Structure 1
Amino acid sequence: MLSKIIIELIVLQILGISLGEVRKSFVPFLSLDKTKFLLYMKTEEAIIVRSNYKSPGSDRSYLSVFLKDLEVAQVVNVTKMSSEVTNFKINLLTKRAGETSLTIQLWDFVGGQDKLIEEIKNIQIKVIFKKTETLSQASLHFDSFALMLILPMIFLNKCAFGCKIEVETLQIVWKKPLPVLLGAAIQFFVMPFCGFIFTRVLVLSQTLSFGFIMTCTCPGGGGGYLFALLLEGDVTLAIVMTCASTLLALIMMPLNSYIYSRILGLNGSLHIPISKIITTLLFIVIPISIGVIIKRKVPKWANYLEKIIKPFSFVLMSTGIYLSFRMGLIFTKTMNLEVLFMGLLVPALGLLFGYSFSKMFMLPLPVCKTVAIEGGALNSFLALAIIQLSFPQHKADLATVAPFTVAMCSGCEMLFMILLYKTKKIIFLYVEDAKLKSLV
């Protein structure tokens, strides 16, 4: 037996093949996460191929890619990404539903000529038609008239918010900024961190986790004013806090997007369009600023605008709840108990942190209610905009489950709180009235 091995080694040496090369020939240089890929039609998809091949001289290795059926998909480009490990990124553009196979070849330029190092055949590619509606198709099935009606309503409503801000109130907040600082700390530090922790505990996917974290880092929504009014909070403070958190969001939302996308390992598949995020937030900030100017320069116009806040806020909040439920019904097929739990947990945590922190600092009850509302009633649709701008469409559709679930659950929780509060108040008044009548 030993003599047979020695003879084989001698033969290999005669042929000029070293023992190391024999060992290498059985160890593949290329690796993929899987050999079967399911892709959606009419999208650009990326496949990552890892290579542990070390070129003898300068690294001139490259990857050749061949598709069997070019009617199903085509190769857009192949990008070499070198760091500690060489990765190749294959971008495929899918055309129609069907199946094809992919062949990849690793080449190197050795001794003045191209040498085939390794080949992987029959990587299965299946392209399917996407039956579920995308966000743009499902959430906004409005005709042009309805859309033209809603956008001016949003603009006027934000202007009216600005008109409600008194200079004296700003001076008071400037001197006693604790409620605003508490709200900002909860919205931009505590809530995103809690969102990250709970998504990791529930083992949600990276994309869905990012969706929930971005929802947690949103500023207060316009409905906060209406909730503060119905729950007898500090209405003026609610408006000031919403405006302040929206201004801070210009910095904090892009920053949190960057930080948590890196922590989640999404930096390769996520593009954060900071300029577009800021533009989206400016759409909210600019009308509010215009309202403040109108209040100072043309008080008569400000009086008219202030009268529309309540009905406009009610209409826009109702529209938001309607859209949330509509999208919630579409997403029920992809929603599971973990996602629903997160949707219920996020607004509940915001309310709890806001009220608890305010009580710790012994703030008045109306202020405690307002800080709690600002922490729990988040502007989830801002997270929706960021997700749509940051991800490819197929991943954006998965991540948007988060803001819509939170918006739907938040609306239900706030409406339940209002119902409970009003019922309690009616019962209290009834008991007091009965006591007075018994005394008479």
Structure 2
Amino acid sequence: MALFLLGLFLLQTASVFSWSAEFGRNVTTVHIYETMSIPVRISKDFNDKLNCFMTATSSDESILMVDLELFQSDYASHNCHGMLNITGVFLGKAKIMFNQSVTDIKHVLSVATIRQERVIDHIFTGSVIILVSLLYINFGCAMDWSVCQETLRRPIGPLIGMFCQFIIMPLLSYGIGLVLFPTHPEMQLGMFFTGISPSGGASNIWTLLLGGNLNLSVTMTTICTLVAFGMMPFWVFTLGRYIFDRGELAVPYSRIASFAAGLIIPLAIGYLIQRKLPKLCRIMVRIMKPFSAILIIFIIIFAIATNLYLFKLFSLQIIVAGMGLPWLGFMFGGLLAFIFKQTIPDIKAIAIETGIQNTGVAIFLLRVGLKAPEDDLTTVLPVSTAIMTPLPLIVFYVIKLVRDRKQKIPSSDASLDKFKNEN
């Protein structure tokens, strides 16, 4: 009797779970707002109780919506035929699960919703590549090796800056990504790539405006730019690999290697201009600071104007991440410089150099290195960081202006009193 019941149970189990699905075509991507219909056939190995009451569900209906229409058309072979309708809602990846009951999930399809490529998208990517290359040519022209050598004779400042830039910032960006986006590896990746990017040229401008050590800032920017060629691939292939694994993404080894090698070329061109064409070099150095500012503003405005989906992606977590990385960078850089008893101008330079990331390089790497939809989804993090980075610096600059103005007024009154007394 026990054997009979066991055999009956196994037969019922087999009749429930032993079905298979065949699709008319292989689908891995669907465009936003596009509905794709796919022929589907469901068949069973057992012919005792076939029914077509199967369902297809999406793991995330904010990304992908599905509808399965099945009907039993072949009673002899016990097959169910129908159509699977897939509708792209927004950027991202979702899984389509086919089941007869809550526990009977037999087939799972992974489908990505992507944007349809436009000419403006290629223009944006190409313009970012060109502008970043021009910026690195300017870096090559602006490198003052004599100043670097003088600063490196007391290397404590640059060493603090390098530690902050290439140890603290990557770890901070990795931690922020895990905390704020625990189930979204693509957002973790955008945050991480922003954190491993070298310090931005705008740091020199802000250091000058806020009364920091400009020579130290320029030296740190130069050193960080050079060291980034090795440290960015290092972090991507070590700690970043865990993010790629969580998101089931392939690590773009060749693209990242090409990126690192590609930026050396404009840097070398700038150095050759400095050596061979000094007049042209002076002109390029003169425009480097405004050019850096224009680059940041251009990337932000162009990215938003051509990719309005960024507004949909912006959330409280995105804003907090955009604030958290640079603002914490300012704090950690300044605190570490203070602990090592640096001067006030040096503390300002190290803090600013640590917090300001080259978001243009991050966007460039994400756009070139990743495929859709990850290239779109990840871009929002460096854009958010670029928007949020200057906010505390603007506040400090206004405070500095007010303080400087107040200090000048008493000194003017004192001079006037002295003039009256003498007369």
TM-score, length-scaled by structure 2: 0.71
Query: Could you say which residue in structure 2 is the equivalent of 1:220?
Result: 199
1:97 to 2:35 alignment:
yes
1:165 equivalent to 2:143? Answer yes
The aligned runs of 1:240-389 (5 Å cut-off) are 240-264=219-243, 266=245, 269-323=248-302, 326=305, 330-389=309-368
Q: After the TM superposition, which residues 99-178 of structure 1 pair with which residues of structure 2 at under 5 Å, given as runs? A: 99-100=37-38, 122-123=55-56, 125=66, 126-129=85-88, 155-178=133-156
Q: 1:348 to 1:323 in 2, by over 3 A?
A: farther
CA contact 1:218–1:382 (8 Å) conserved in 2:
yes
Q: CA separation in 1, counterparts of 2:221 and 2:352?
A: 10
Which amino acid counterpart does residue 209 of structure 1 have in structure 2? Q
Rounded to whole Å, the distance in 1 between the matches of 2:44 and 2:170 is 43
In structure 2, give the amino acid aligned to 1:399.
T
The amino acid that maps onto 2:174 is F
- Give yes or no for contact 1:102–1:122 (8 Å, CA) kept in 2: no
Q: What is residue 179 of structure 1 aligned with on the other side?
A: 157
- Structure 1 residue 153: Cα displacement: 6.0
Letter of the aligned partner of 2:323 in structure 1? L
Q: Decide which moves more: 361-370 or 414-423.
A: 414-423
Aligned length: 362
SS of the equivalent of 1:266 reads helix
Task: Give distance in 1, aligned partners of 2:241 and 2:383.
Answer: 24
Identical aligned pairs, as a percentage?
Answer: 23
After the TM superposition, which residues 406-421 of structure 1 pair with which residues of structure 2 at under 5 Å, given as runs?
406-421=385-400
Q: Deviations over 1:409-435 (max 9, x none)?
A: 113333333333333323332343233
CA shift at 1:189, angstroms? 1.7
Distance 1:167 1:343, change over 3 A: closer
How far off its partner does 1:227 sit?
1.7
Cα gap change, 1:287 to 1:187, in 2 (>3 Å):
same
Instruction: For residue 378 of structure 1, report the CA deviation from its aligned partner.
Output: 0.4
The equivalences for 1:196-211 within 5 A come to 196-204=174-182, 205-211=184-190
Please tell me whether the aligned partners of residues 328 and 405 of structure 1 are also in contact (alpha carbons under 8 angstroms). no
Determine if contact 1:261/1:267 at 8 Å carries over to the other structure: no
1:433 counterpart residue number: 412
- 1:315-348 CA distances to partner (integer Å, 9 max, x unpaired)? 3243244346657964232222122111111110
Alignment match, 2:108: none
State how far apart, in whole Å, the 1-side matches of 2:136 and 2:299 are: 16
Q: 1:230 aligns with which of 201, 205, 209?
A: 209
- Give the deviation of 1:141 after TM superposition: 8.7
Q: Distance in 2 between matches of 1:355 and 1:335?
A: 29
CA apart distance, 1:244? 1.9
Change (3 A) 1:420 1:282: farther
Give how far 1:245 is off.
Answer: 1.6
Q: Secondary structure at the match of 1:66?
A: strand
- Alpha-carbon separation, structure 2, partners of 1:345 and 1:268: 23
Structure 2, gaps ≥5 residues long: 46-51, 58-65, 67-84, 92-113
CA contact (8 A) 2:255 2:369 kept: no
- Amino acid corresponding to residue 223 of structure 1 in structure 2: A
Deviation at 1:211, TM superposition (A): 1.4
Alpha-carbon distance change, 143 to 180 in structure 1, aligned in 2, over 3 angstroms:
closer
In the other structure, the counterpart of 1:111 is: none
Aligned-partner Cα distance in 2 for 1:143–1:342: 24
Q: CA offset at residue 308 of structure 1?
A: 2.3
The one-letter code sitting in structure 2 at the alignment partner of 1:178 is I
Alignment TM-score, normalising by the size of structure 1: 0.69
Compared CA separation, residues 390 and 293, structure 1 to 2 (3 A)? closer
SS of the aligned residue for 1:347 comes to: helix
CA distance in 2: counterparts of 1:316 and 1:265, whole angstroms = 29
Q: Is the 8 A contact 1:354 1:372 kept in 2?
A: yes
Structure 1 counterpart of 2:28, one-letter code: L
Structure-1 residue corresponding to 2:110: none
Shift of 1:226: 1.8
Higher mean alpha-carbon deviation, 121-130 vs 398-407, is at 121-130
Indicate which of 424, 429, 432 corresponds to 2:403.
424
- Residues 282 and 422 (structure 1), Cα distance of their counterparts in 2 relative to 1, 3 Å cut: farther
Alpha-carbon spacing, 1:274–1:27, altered in 2? closer, same or farther (3 Å): same
Q: Which runs of 5+ in 1 are unaligned?
A: 1-5, 31-63, 76-90, 108-118
Alpha-carbon distance between aligned partners in 1 of 2:342 and 2:410, rounded to the nearest angstrom = 29
Match of 1:58 in 2: none
CA contact (8 A) 2:30 2:87 kept: no
- Give 2:366's aligned amino acid: I
C-alpha RMSD of matched pairs (Å)? 3.8
Tell me: CA distance 1:395–1:153, structure 2 relative to 1, closer, same or farther (3 Å).
Answer: closer
